[in-house]
Every structure is written in C-alpha cells, then in structure tokens.
Amino acid sequence: MICIDARTYFDPGFKAWKLRLKFVDPLGREHVFGFMHVSHGSKPEIGRRSKYYAAWVEANGGPPKRKDRLPPKVFRGKAFLLRIRDVIKRHDQHEHSESDVYSNAEIIRRIGP
C-alpha cells in the first residue's frame, strides 16, 4: 500500500507524541491508518531503538544524516508491505465494543525505490 499522509501529533490523553500514517491501495479504493508511538514529553524525541526510528530508516532507505531530523514526510508517496490487524482491546486492556473495533497498519518493509 502507498502512504499518502504522515504526520506527528501530541495526544493529550496519553501525554505522548504519536505518528499517524494513512495508506491507500494502488488503485486508491481502500485506505487504512497506522499509528505509532513516537515519544513522551513536551517535544518529540526519537531514540535509536524506537519503532519510529526503525520505520523511518526503512522508509528512507538508510539512517538519517543527523539524528535530530526525522521528519514524517519521508513516508509519503512510498509503497510498503503492511501487517494489518484489528484492534479489539483498548490501551487499558478492556475489549472494544464490536462497533469500536478498528484496523491498524504496521510497516513490515518498503517496496520499490
């Protein structure tokens, strides 16, 4: 699937920075979102062992030239193999009602140049 939007935002409920990715199939008929924890604190600080860093390196095709610059725009316009799963439990481990179940995409690897 192709990433058409990538942005970080502060989630006040979790008091953390998150990444939201929007993917569409190559024909643009279906879409799915992916969410990833970036960091806690007043500004995004990305560790080298974080999932965000690993996904960013995969999307970029290599590590960053400067570790303090990992913009989410590197994901946009690129194709990825994804693992898509239904999220049936909330962050507090209680199950969602049937109508609140949603899908989440996880990047496995980048496809193509």
| Tens-place pLDDT, residues 39-93 | 988 777 888 889 999 999 999 999 998 766 799 999 999 999 999 998 888 878 8
pLDDT > 70 in the chain, percent = 98
Confidence (pTM): 0.84
pLDDT tens digit string along 12-26? 988 999 999 999 998
Q: Which domain holds residue 24?
A: 2-111
- For 4, 22, 85, 91, 92, the CA distances from 97, given in Å and listed in that order, are 29, 24, 16, 14, 14
Residue 23 CA: distances (Å) to CA of 13, 28, 31, 43, 74:
24, 9, 5, 26, 14
